[in-house]
Amino acid sequence: MTYKVAVAGASGYAGGELLRLLLTHPDVQIGALTAGQNAGSKLGAHQPHLFPLADRELLETTADNLAGHDVVFLALPHGASGAVAAQLPDDVLVIDCGADFRLTDSEAWDRWYGGNYAGSWPYGLPELGDNRATLRTAKRIAVPGCYPTISTLTLAPAVQAGIVTPDVVVVAASGTSGAGKSLKANLLGSEVMGSVSAYGVGGTHRHTPEIIQNLGALTTDPVTVSFTPLLVPMSRGILATCSAPLHDGVSAQDVRAVYEKAYAAEDFVHVLPEGQWPTTASVLGSNNVAIQVTADADAGRLVAVGAVDNLTKGTAGGAIQSMNLALGLDEHIGLPTAGVAP
């Protein structure tokens, strides 16, 4: 069976990555491509690397233009997906790459995003808890944020196994594509090149409650997260360094055993050989996550480092992986397992 797929927000980074991956998916036909202010123009003007679709016209993002599809991906600004999704039939698989349906707590939404709370959908991170089973019957899916994807996967085995106190510190360096295509002075090449900067410091980044929500589902202990993102001079990728207090008597060997067991059956999550640390270059363009762990014996802390491509596994790849599960397909179809180098 071939599934007809629409992508709303096709001119942005997430939309472009969705289309790059969908072009290699044998079970889909790409239907309507929509946009906001770029409606009426050709896709090739915004995504020049997508040659097979370059002459396709971008339509307005309306329920009528998205009608008649089996799957609709929403790669829209935060707060824009709720109204669109409400107009789509219940039998259409709708996958939101924005934040609108990620948070289960309406008060958290009010604090971190504001505006109307649209509710929560099944969470598109198959490797977390029982999500894979839930996604197999879902018709609405919320794709995780890129920072929560890597932070959660880098910390989840330790939290779930109870070898740490979930008082977590995450420092994550991200490329500029994570901020989207909007023109911002701090994202100009002359501002970014040769410079690393912190932002969202002091517990102010919107992805913080999502990380807390994910880890909180794995333990009965209260979870705290101190999250500091860094903007680094590269286009894509995230390297997250995560730490938490280890319980007494837990060794580096114990930590490694927990992670190897947790991810033994996960084809996209790789616990690296001892002594090899993750790099963003190793996961570029792939749906992979690279993780390394150890114990800082003097500090009594777990140190776990993870790398992900924020546009692939961190957004579009995770969305297509979730789509595959919801459609009853092999979840690996259309998803690259090899990176791009050099």
**Which sequence positions are flagged as catalytic?**
146
In whole angstroms, what is the distance from residue 44 CA to residue 282 CA?
28
Residue with tokens 């680094």: 232
CA 304 to each of CA 146, 294, 314: distance values in angstroms, whole numbers, following the listed order: 17, 7, 18
Would you state the structure tokens that stand for residue 45, as one six-digit string? 């003007």
State yes or no: cis peptide before 342, omega within 30 of 0.
yes
Q: What are phi and psi of 95, to 5 degrees?
A: -120, 115
For the chain, the three-class secondary structure string (H helix, E strand, C coil) is: CCEEEEEECCCCHHHHHHHHHHCCCCCEEEEEEEECCCCCCEHHHCCCCCHHHCCCECEECCHHHHCCCCEEEECCCCCCHHHHHHCCCCCCEEEECCCCCCCCCHHHHHHHCCCCCCCCCCECCCCCCCHHHHHCCCCEEECCCHHHHHHHHHHHHHHHHCCECCEEEEEEEECHHHHCCCCCHHHCHHHHCCCCEECCCCCCCCCHHHHHHHHHCCCCCCCEEEEEEEECCCCCCEEEEEEEEECCCCCHHHHHHHHHHHCCCCCCEEECCCCCCCCCHHHCCCCCEEEEEEEECCCCEEEEEEEECCCHHHHHHHHHHHHHHHCCCCCCCCCCCCCCCC
Beta-carbon-side half-sphere exposure of residue 56 (alpha carbons within 13 Å): 24
Strands 301-308 and 289-296 turn out to be antiparallel
